[in-house]
Structure 1
Amino acid sequence: MAGAISHHALAFSQSHWCSAKNSRFGKRTGNARLVYLKGRCGSGSRKLGLMWASSSQSSVMEPTHLPSDGNSSHTPKKSSESALILIWHGESLWNEKNLFPGCIDVPLTPKGVEEAIEAGKRICNIPIDVIYTSSLICAQMTAMLAMMQHRRKKILVITHNESEQAHRWSQIYSEETMKQSIPVITAWQLNERMYGELQGLNKQETVDRFGKEQVHEWRRSYDIPPPNGESLEKCAERAVAYFKDQAHLARPLYTN
């Protein structure tokens, strides 16, 4: 983590995340969710605080103080700590139809748009330096809509590093413009887990066909994947590995 931005917040919008091998993981309730994490940079010990919020309720556990938004009379000293905000995407068109989405790319519903906006209002005073999002449009829409509520009104700019030419052609050559921009980094590693042969199937019809216990095992077991799909374990491995390799770098990606 670059020291100059170490006290600010990182954010990403992701389709799915899993917290531990004991199968405890975030569960949707129909609302975009927020999780606020605060910890030290690098590979050392981490002290984390957690904030969970949806459009219906929120709760906070220590530490309760969010990073300064720059308007406070007290400006915190730069430190090795940073904040990570996890934003779960709003309702997608396939969520609305009760279909298994997996890695199928579908946009948000009007309700999902409202959820993303509400999520943005809840983080509108927290400084954001960089956004990591899955490559799926529902996650990217959530990130864009949420950040439109931010008080600093910075412009989100999607980075393109898929090739040397794409990277070169997407450079920003104005320092002033860079100051008013937030880089958005998309990564397939942050996608929802791949649901295999369940993708596109109606969830209730799948229960009727295979039985409640079998479908529950496919969806909630940590190491048992759906048919020709990806287990939560494998999904967690790629997402966590991505953050270990990339997210801790958290620095402006545009240079003169």
Structure 2
Amino acid sequence: MTERTLVLVRHGQSYDNEQDLFSGLRDPDLTSQGVAEAIQAGRQLLDLGFRFDLAFTSELARAQRTLTLILAELGLSTLEVRQSGALNERDYGELAGLNKEEARGRWGVQQVRLWRKSYDAVPPGGESLAMTADRLVPYYAQEIAPQVQEGKRTLVVAHGNSLRSLVMHLDKLSAQDVADVHLATTQILVYRFDEAGAVLDKQSILTDVRRS
């Protein structure tokens, strides 16, 4: 029986996360907590018996380093890794680098929430979640899904919003439902698929290192 497994992991805590800043396409490194989270995620995947044949990540350092640390814990440091800007975090435009409270003071609580959580709202100079999905979902369909359907156990390490857009697609969520989707740093989502590509089951795992 072919095993069609896809594991999604959000990167560990970055310096922007620590300071509650909008990151977008900024490229902060992991904090010491983020490193610990990534190592723990790798250990939990190992303890649960996960092995991988292929991995995907974004062009941003926080996701790449998280993946490197996870693979080291799994003993898979030489695993094939494919990088793509399609998996990058959404572009937050003028919000990037701002503290979230600072942004709320400038534009208002409701407007900032719309930019962060809604599907269609576009932050000034940036991307909506819909625009993120427009680049990520086709990449998933063309590059990742076929590997999973061939039976390659596949790991994707990316970002909160890029993964939200993929979860919306896989879980068939509405624009209203996706507003309530949040992935913690190094949260693990496991999807298993049938031979037609439909989701059979989904599992969510939080790492033990969890302070934010």
| Secondary structure in structure 2 of the residue aligned to 1:84 | strand
1:95 pairs, out of 14, 17, 20, with 17
1:244 aligned partner: 141
2:68 aligned partner: 144
2:112 pairs, out of 215, 220, 228, with 215
Which of these two proteins has the greater Rg computed from alpha carbons? Answer: 1
Alignment of 1:3-22 (within 5 A): none
Structure 2 residue 25 is matched with structure 1 residue 128: no
CA distance in 1, matches of 2:32, 2:99: 21
CA distance in 2, matches of 1:83, 1:146: 17
Query: How far is the alpha carbon of 1:122 from its aligned partner?
Result: 1.5
CA distance in 2, matches of 1:98, 1:231: 20
Relative contact order, higher structure (CA 8 A, sep 6+): 2
2:26 aligned partner: 104
| Secondary structure in structure 1 of the residue aligned to 2:53 | strand
1:194 pairs, out of 91, 95, 106, with 91
Moved runs in structure 1, 4+ residues, more than 3 A? none
Query: How far is the alpha carbon of 1:149 from its aligned partner?
Result: 1.2
CA distance in 1, matches of 2:17, 2:34: 9
2:125 pairs, out of 228, 237, 250, with 228
For residues 119-153 of structure 1, what are the alpha-carbon distances to aligned partners after superposition, in whole Å with 9 as ceiling and x for unaligned? 11121121200100011100001101111111xx2
Query: How far is the alpha carbon of 1:236 from its aligned partner?
Result: 1.6
Query: How far is the alpha carbon of 1:154 from its aligned partner?
Result: 2.5
Query: How far is the alpha carbon of 1:86 from its aligned partner?
Result: 0.2
Higher share in helix: 2
Counterpart AA for 1:137:
A
| Secondary structure in structure 1 of the residue aligned to 2:9 | strand
Query: How far is the alpha carbon of 1:96 from its aligned partner?
Result: 0.9
Q: TM-score, normalising length from structure 2?
A: 0.66
What is the aligned residue count?
147
CA distance in 2, matches of 1:247, 1:230: 23
Query: How far is the alpha carbon of 1:234 from its aligned partner?
Result: 1.0
2:40 aligned partner: 118
CA distance in 2, matches of 1:154, 1:186: 17
2:79 aligned partner: 182
2:171 aligned partner: none
CA distance in 2, matches of 1:236, 1:121: 30
Structure 2: which 5+ runs fail to align? 153-212
Q: TM-score, normalising length from structure 1?
A: 0.55
CA distance in 2, matches of 1:154, 1:218: 38
Counterpart AA for 1:87:
V
CA distance in 1, matches of 2:111, 2:121: 11
Query: How far is the alpha carbon of 1:248 from its aligned partner?
Result: 2.8
CA-based RMSD of the aligned residues comes to 1.5
| Secondary structure in structure 1 of the residue aligned to 2:4 | strand
CA distance in 2, matches of 1:144, 1:132: 11
